[in-house]
């Protein structure tokens, strides 16, 4: 009960004084460059918080865990592939109600795009912006336990050679507990108590668990 009260108060304060907190974080971060690679809308919410232009194509979309990990394991190759739009997902639990495309054999689900033309245009433009950032220390990678992301995917994520990584999950185990940048989340999705909330809701909870500013400034979180 005590934790629930503290969480409620902190979330209420953040929501009520969102603009104040956002301005404070923006001022502290200054002009520090960053590129966010995220498996869902969490990344877009972070860009909005800092009022930065989207210099990453991973905005307004999601990837299933197996596809996301495979993409990150060969990031340079996949990010240079052309999008090919398809009518059907290989994942049977997903009905196509939005543009769906392949990067090679990687599915990209453009959930917040109206049509294929818009998705392709914005993807290409944001990839070009991203590739202008040559310093890999300014790339920040995020994953969570949604969309078929298993414990093994989380462990594979943390074994990737990228410097800046953060993961969120309802579950953890002895190996995950040893990882400093893995966050065990207590709040779950309403319809599925075994996974974290969706990207936008998870971003709102982020401030309860770690300081994004410290992360983006390459400091210990």
Q: How many domains does the chain have?
A: 1
- What is the reported pLDDT for 109? 97
Q: Name, in order, each residue with C-beta under 8 angstroms of 47's C-beta and a sequence gap of 6 or more.
A: 36, 53, 54, 56, 59
- Whether residue 200 is contained in a domain is answered as yes
Residue 124 has pLDDT above 90, yes or no: yes
- Whether residue 73 is contained in a domain is answered as yes
- Whether residue 3 is contained in a domain is answered as no
- Whether residue 194 is contained in a domain is answered as yes
- What is the reported pLDDT for 27? 95
Nearest to 90, CA basis, from 72, 67, 113, 68: 67
Per residue in 153-193, pLDDT tens? 999 999 999 999 999 999 878 888 899 899 999 999 988 89
- Whether residue 22 is contained in a domain is answered as no
- Whether residue 13 is contained in a domain is answered as no
- Whether residue 163 is contained in a domain is answered as yes
Per residue in 4-49, pLDDT tens? 445 444 545 555 556 788 999 999 999 999 999 999 999 999 999 9
Structural domain span for residue 67? 34-53+60-216
- What is the reported pLDDT for 114? 94
- Whether residue 117 is contained in a domain is answered as yes
């Amino acid at each position: 009960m005590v934790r629930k009260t503290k969480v409620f108060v902190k979330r209420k304060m953040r929501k009520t004084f969102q603009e104040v907190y956002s301005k404070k974080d923006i001022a502290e971060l200054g002009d520090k460059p960053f590129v966010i690679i995220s498996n869902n809308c969490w990344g877009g919410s972070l860009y909005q918080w800092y009022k930065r232009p989207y210099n990453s194509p991973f905005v307004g979309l999601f990837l299933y865990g197996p596809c996301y990990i495979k993409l990150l394991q060969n990031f340079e190759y996949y990010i240079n592939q052309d999008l090919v739009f398809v009518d059907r997902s290989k994942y049977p639990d997903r009905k196509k109600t939005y543009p769906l495309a392949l990067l090679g054999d990687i599915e990209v689900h453009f959930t917040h795009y109206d049509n294929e033309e818009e998705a392709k245009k914005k993807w290409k433009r944001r990839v070009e912006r991203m590739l202008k950032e040559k310093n890999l220390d300014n790339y920040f990678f995020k994953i969570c336990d949604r969309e078929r992301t298993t414990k093994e995917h989380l462990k594979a994520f943390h074994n990737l050679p990228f410097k800046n990584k953060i993961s969120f999950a309802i579950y953890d185990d002895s190996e995950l507990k040893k990882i400093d940048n893995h966050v065990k989340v207590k709040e779950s999705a309403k319809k599925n108590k075994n996974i974290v909330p969706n990207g936008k809701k998870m971003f709102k909870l982020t401030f309860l668990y770690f300081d994004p500013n410290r992360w983006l400034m390459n400091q210990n979180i």
